[in-house]
Structure 1
């Protein structure tokens, strides 16, 4: 059965060039990467590498410890995701050209209206504890995300499904959006025709037999969401042990449906960036990849190593400085509610001219040269160049211009009343912005200090606070710490589709800036409105208009889109150099003699 993709997916034929949209045919249920592949190849030059070797352990490195939340529907940190990529699986995955293919889904079919998708599941998949994987697990996963008591941030995978609002409100006990027809057949139904069916159905699946009796508001704290040995997935490795903040150990799953992994085990180590290159050189570390890769100022040193492959795709995400335009009231934070009607406006950042002055006042070009050693591009809108939604002419471009920044502040009524070099606000009151940022990413840590200096140079008194561990920082951002005005963070653009709703729609959990903008919401909705959205040119026009609006309103300052620097040693074979996920097909990894 053939299916013609309607997602206008990215094409990544040239690693560092802009990517074009594609509308490709592909065999459902078949991994294109396996097509005709009978021998393993070297990840760097494609030469035959011989038969895979069995056994052994490899060490992978990340710079920050996970938040210790390994339930896919509740995790938030990329570092937790590093574990989940080995332990859990999805119905659909993407190949190196970012085209969808069936993973746990063996085949599927869409109705003519694009409102219903019937998925046939693989029948040879078992969970780590030996229980069979069934359609009930798929239904349970999406029903849990739609549950009235669910407090996680993955609602975007369920909120467009049929009956979501009624189920979420508790008006019905049956979620119409996903149904198990039989043990290995599941049907997804949408309220409106969807242009992203495979993407919507491509979230990690969790086991119904483990969490079925656990209330949704207790699942996040359940031991099976955090304890090694209790984390149950269908992936090639089992999470078996951890030394918190130091190492996380995974062992090969003997009954993995694609065959037992060649490696016996994989160990994730938390390692400081400053020693990473040395550990690669002496073989203590076998790979440094997502989310941060090799620190840019070490790239030349890594290139000089004779035993290491360097893969440099353009990142699909970006680093940004968020502006806390509003905060949620404490009762909404405690209840896990994001209700724009309840937002408490941050008056310090209410004036658009002030926000625009911040962008003019930050020397992003100098950051890229000085902190990233040129491994990045200044970003003016939420779509990096690698995205098909990128339009160079769409956003308002803010070049570094301190004079323009000061002019905007003075036009907004700011004045240095005391003569200390810092502006007072229009009421004559002291004006101080509090900037918070996390540890773990060296370039971002240094950027915080540069931003503080840049903004002080234009007369804004910035209180650059001491950095916190990423998990603690993320909690403060998510919980709308009332003293926070500015914060540093990064987002990854979804590789399946550039729809910005998950981060920018006013009422979604990931709208950390608490930007409440009716026109933005209207344009976001228009970008996926069928049948118009089946036309790629229509979507590009909508997203160009939206990007211009975002850059004009400045809910955040887009800093840079990086060039990733992923490195792995020659002895680690079977690696798929993938632009969006380096931890693909890890059962095929092996250590060469």
Structure 2
């Protein structure tokens, strides 16, 4: 397919997208990355009613997503990574697995392909491409000026090498699902082939990829576009790569800044990459440091940091009038919080979910449905977040405006309905203590896992526990406490080791530019922490990326059906959609949190004076 024909095809496909996006009212969009925790804010334990929050209710549509201006030459910027834990330090896009590491990597590395504001690949990135008539064969050409930080050119071999590593049976990261559509990737992964048939290196800068089937996802984030410097990694065994110095201590990339030094888990110092392919960055230096949610306001007030990646929304009402040295940017976040149910384990040998409803305490869908009806997420959004989070309905967040189906009827707060469902399903209070036993008359106590993070984490956990207790379901915090971020994700199965004592958990997802939800809820992905799957779910996920789904209306229908099916089956239920707030010191200009294709790029970010503005 010629570039001209491809452009016409894209125009036809995206026209509807553009019309819908243009019609949205005032809100802003953006996000990035993979897993993220459901950290909280403030509130009391007596919050089981639906009264409005004390104080003003805010609307994300009232915030600007960007701050532009004329930067001085040079200067240094201090960036705060808000977290109550250290970052893991897996500092390479091919191996990382949590959102904090992604924030660190974003300053020094980037994808070879760029998307526009409809999440469709453009020709403006570090690599350009052509597509054949069938839509399953892409030929990429990497720009001559794109180099690694050590001066070596980025080659087609580097890109192919990254994919070969991910498909290697000894690879210990979470990205295999992102390359499995390549012809020959499965055979290579299973040891049946010595190479990946669908990768062909044409010359130093040109790589051809052939996919098993053309899907709409191939145009919107469905191609693995992060290279790996072969001249650094080729002598490291694949099983050792993620823990090597090349990832942990001396990472390199192709982005606007180079890593100068790392204090493991705590901070990273970057210097400008004068050879950056887009142009020389405005700033001379960036220092990233971890800032606890409890001290983020102080760090902004004193100028310890100029900006933070994400501000705890519970703190905004308390500081909006006093934190006068910063400007608050805001957007609709591409994420959602949810309550998940553990319905099986991960079969590491076969790389798939092993569902076992019979031996799961939450295997009964009616129990899960009643637990959804028992919580008031409208009240959560107002009382805990002053309107900056709001009731979620489906697992396709409203960020995906043309795919999110708000016509689907989903459970909302109704304790009478919860009690009715439990009564009819045989969950009765046999001994009169106010707590229901299971249908076999046995004690039912569910262990609940959630993580630390901000002032709201504990009271929010208590709210859910109390809400479930009010309908007779006994739920207790696992180990009697909230879990540290890394410990939480390890125990719910990020490494495949599911803690058998966990029955229910609260977490959140930051979703990608591609609307396809397979990477979170598919049967062969480790991120499906519920370990739930069935034939209908798999069928719908496959239909969503089928050749027929190249038709936008067909794909919308499939994903509407999938959203409704997940509401019926309740392996998880979404709790709140999110707004993101990002305060920036008044001296910072050209910082932008809009979605891809609209945002100001990091090499353009600058400052107007040497010292931060103080209140």
TM-score, scaled to structure 2: 0.85
Selected match of 1:235 from 235, 249, 255: 255
Report the CA distance shift for 1:46/1:383 in structure 2 as closer, same or farther (over 3 A): closer
Report the CA distance between 1:299 and its aligned residue: 4.5
- Uncovered stretches (5+) of structure 1, i.e. residues with no partner: 20-42
> Are 1:507 and 2:524 an aligned pair?
yes
Deviations 1:28-83 (A, max 9, x none): xxxxxxxxxxxxxxx96989733542132323332242112112222111100011
> Are 1:483 and 2:501 an aligned pair?
yes
Name the residue aligned to 2:115.
94
Report the CA distance shift for 1:272/1:578 in structure 2 as closer, same or farther (over 3 A): same
- Superposition pairs of residues 33-112 of structure 1, within 5 angstroms: 49-50=69-70, 52-63=72-83, 64-96=85-117, 98-102=119-123, 104-112=125-133
Say if 1:89 and 1:204, in contact at 8 Å, map to a contact too. yes
Provide the C-alpha distance between the structure 1 equivalents of 2:81 and 2:235, rounded to a whole number of angstroms: 36
- Superposition pairs of residues 363-374 of structure 1, within 5 angstroms: 363-374=376-387
Name the residue aligned to 1:224.
246
Report the CA distance shift for 1:212/1:471 in structure 2 as closer, same or farther (over 3 A): same
Say if 1:69 and 1:80, in contact at 8 Å, map to a contact too. yes
> Are 1:389 and 2:407 an aligned pair?
no
Say if 1:327 and 1:345, in contact at 8 Å, map to a contact too. no
Tell which deviates more after alignment, 467-476 or 239-248.
239-248
Tell which deviates more after alignment, 149-158 or 55-64.
55-64
- Superposition pairs of residues 262-273 of structure 1, within 5 angstroms: 262-273=282-293
Provide the C-alpha distance between the structure 1 equivalents of 2:427 and 2:421, rounded to a whole number of angstroms: 9
Provide the C-alpha distance between the structure 2 equivalents of 1:547 and 1:47, rounded to a whole number of angstroms: 36
Report the CA distance between 1:490 and its aligned residue: 0.8
Name the residue aligned to 2:606.
590
Report the CA distance shift for 1:522/1:144 in structure 2 as closer, same or farther (over 3 A): same
- Superposition pairs of residues 5-404 of structure 1, within 5 angstroms: 5=10, 6=13, 12-13=21-22, 14=24, 16-17=26-27, 49-50=69-70, 52-63=72-83, 64-96=85-117, 98-102=119-123, 104-198=125-219, 199-227=221-249, 230-289=250-309, 292-299=310-317, 301-302=319-320, 305-328=323-346, 332-333=347-348, 337-341=350-354, 346-387=359-400, 388-394=402-408, 396-404=409-417
> Are 1:494 and 2:512 an aligned pair?
yes
Say if 2:140 and 2:207, in contact at 8 Å, map to a contact too. yes
Name the residue aligned to 2:580.
564
Say if 2:113 and 2:121, in contact at 8 Å, map to a contact too. yes
Deviations 1:510-562 (A, max 9, x none): 111101211011011111111x2121111111111111110010011211111
Tell which deviates more after alignment, 218-227 or 168-177.
218-227
Selected match of 2:471 from 458, 482, 488: 458
Say if 1:302 and 1:308, in contact at 8 Å, map to a contact too. no
Provide the C-alpha distance between the structure 2 equivalents of 1:356 and 1:580, rounded to a whole number of angstroms: 36
Provide the C-alpha distance between the structure 2 equivalents of 1:519 and 1:344, rounded to a whole number of angstroms: 16
Greater relative CO, 1 or 2 (CA 8 Å, sep 6+): 2
Report the CA distance shift for 1:163/1:343 in structure 2 as closer, same or farther (over 3 A): farther
Report the CA distance between 1:12 and its aligned residue: 4.9
Report the CA distance between 1:391 and its aligned residue: 1.0
**DSSP 3-state at the match of 1:312:** strand
Report the CA distance between 1:259 and its aligned residue: 3.0
> What is the aligned-residue RMSD (CA, Å)?
2.5
Name the residue aligned to 2:485.
470
Say if 2:448 and 2:505, in contact at 8 Å, map to a contact too. yes
Provide the C-alpha distance between the structure 2 equivalents of 1:477 and 1:584, rounded to a whole number of angstroms: 36
Provide the C-alpha distance between the structure 1 equivalents of 2:596 and 2:457, rounded to a whole number of angstroms: 21
Provide the C-alpha distance between the structure 2 equivalents of 1:143 and 1:444, rounded to a whole number of angstroms: 41
**DSSP 3-state at the match of 1:136:** helix
Deviations 1:125-181 (A, max 9, x none): 221222211101110111111112223211222011111221111111110222211
Tell which deviates more after alignment, 84-93 or 98-107.
98-107
Tell which deviates more after alignment, 230-239 or 88-97.
88-97
Name the residue aligned to 2:446.
433
Say if 1:91 and 1:102, in contact at 8 Å, map to a contact too. no
**DSSP 3-state at the match of 1:316:** strand
Report the CA distance shift for 1:182/1:345 in structure 2 as closer, same or farther (over 3 A): farther
Report the CA distance shift for 1:48/1:320 in structure 2 as closer, same or farther (over 3 A): closer
- Uncovered stretches (5+) of structure 2, i.e. residues with no partner: 30-62, 610-615
Report the CA distance shift for 1:506/1:444 in structure 2 as closer, same or farther (over 3 A): farther
Provide the C-alpha distance between the structure 2 equivalents of 1:143 and 1:581, rounded to a whole number of angstroms: 29
**DSSP 3-state at the match of 2:332:** coil
**DSSP 3-state at the match of 1:391:** coil
Report the CA distance between 1:265 and its aligned residue: 1.8
**DSSP 3-state at the match of 1:348:** coil
Say if 1:303 and 1:310, in contact at 8 Å, map to a contact too. no
Deviations 1:434-484 (A, max 9, x none): 111122354444322211111111111111131222111111111211101
**DSSP 3-state at the match of 2:462:** helix
Provide the C-alpha distance between the structure 2 equivalents of 1:149 and 1:221, rounded to a whole number of angstroms: 13
Report the CA distance shift for 1:352/1:270 in structure 2 as closer, same or farther (over 3 A): same
Say if 1:262 and 1:589, in contact at 8 Å, map to a contact too. yes
Name the residue aligned to 1:38.
none
> Are 1:527 and 2:544 an aligned pair?
yes
Provide the C-alpha distance between the structure 2 equivalents of 1:281 and 1:341, rounded to a whole number of angstroms: 50
Report the CA distance between 1:242 and its aligned residue: 2.8
Provide the C-alpha distance between the structure 1 equivalents of 2:380 and 2:270, rounded to a whole number of angstroms: 38
Report the CA distance shift for 1:45/1:239 in structure 2 as closer, same or farther (over 3 A): closer
Name the residue aligned to 2:53.
none
Report the CA distance shift for 1:142/1:445 in structure 2 as closer, same or farther (over 3 A): farther
Name the residue aligned to 2:425.
412
Say if 1:435 and 1:487, in contact at 8 Å, map to a contact too. yes
Paired residues in the alignment total 558
**DSSP 3-state at the match of 1:392:** coil
Deviations 1:316-375 (A, max 9, x none): 1101111111123xxx45x5x533357575431111101101101112111111111111
Report the CA distance between 1:109 and its aligned residue: 0.8
Tell which deviates more after alignment, 436-445 or 121-130.
436-445
Name the residue aligned to 1:23.
none
Tell which deviates more after alignment, 344-353 or 521-530.
344-353
Provide the C-alpha distance between the structure 2 equivalents of 1:586 and 1:201, rounded to a whole number of angstroms: 23
Report the CA distance shift for 1:178/1:344 in structure 2 as closer, same or farther (over 3 A): farther
Say if 2:314 and 2:385, in contact at 8 Å, map to a contact too. yes
Provide the C-alpha distance between the structure 1 equivalents of 2:564 and 2:187, rounded to a whole number of angstroms: 35
